[in-house]
Structures are given as C-alpha cells and as structure tokens.
Amino acid sequence: MTQQHPVPSNWFVDPVALGVPGVRRPEIDDEALSWQGDALCAQTDPEAFFPEKGGSTREAKRICEGCEVRSECLDYALANDERFGIWGGLSERERRKLRREAI
C-alpha cells in the first residue's frame, strides 16, 4: 500500500511548461533583444559596465562609443527602466536626467 503525500502549498507547477492543453505559451519577441549579439559589451568584462559605487565608468563608456548598437541599447534601458550599470553609453544618473528632460 502506497501512502499519499499531500503536495506542499508553496509548490508551483507551470502548466505552460508541462504542455497542458488549452494553456498557451506566451509569445516571445526574439527580435527585441537580437541587438545584444552585436553589442561590444558582450565581448568584454561585464564588471566594467556595473562598477562599484564611486567606481569609474570611463572604460565602459569608451567601449560604448564604438558600439554599433549603442542606440538600441539605450532605448532598451530607457524602456525597461534599467537602474544599474552603463547602458548605451550612459550611467544611471545620466539616464534619469535624460528621462526628466524628455518629460
């Protein structure tokens, strides 16, 4: 005789991952982030783009200057309210200022 164990109340099973009929998998826009494959930062040390408080952002910004997808990166950061790191050549503070000026 097998004993039944109740399922803990904090367990979650994603019906989409299980392929439950009638549950649709959310559509993912693969194109939205395709620019990241061409980003120069993807080929360098990510720590340069997320410096410690008070650390230099100079190296990251220098890399961004020559990046073909700099504008896409900045657009993404602004649209997704990225609050940390260098995105599109701008720091968090610079992006906040840009948002304020746009309003």
Is the sign of the CA dihedral 43, 46, 47, 51 positive or negative?
A: positive
Q: What is the pLDDT at residue 20? A: 61
pLDDT, tens digit, 9 for 90 and up, residues 17-72: 666 666 565 665 667 788 899 999 999 988 899 998 889 999 999 999 999 999 99
Q: What is the pLDDT at residue 86? A: 96
pLDDT, average across residues 94-102: 91
Evaluate if residue 6 carries a pLDDT over 90: no
Regarding pTM above 0.75, the answer is no
Report the C-alpha gap between 31 and 54 in whole angstroms. Answer: 35
Q: What is the pLDDT at residue 95? A: 95
- Coil, strand or helix at 71: helix
Strand pairing partners for 90? 87
Report the C-alpha gap between 61 and 3 in whole angstroms. Answer: 62
**6 against 47, higher pLDDT:** 47
Strand pairing partners for 53? none
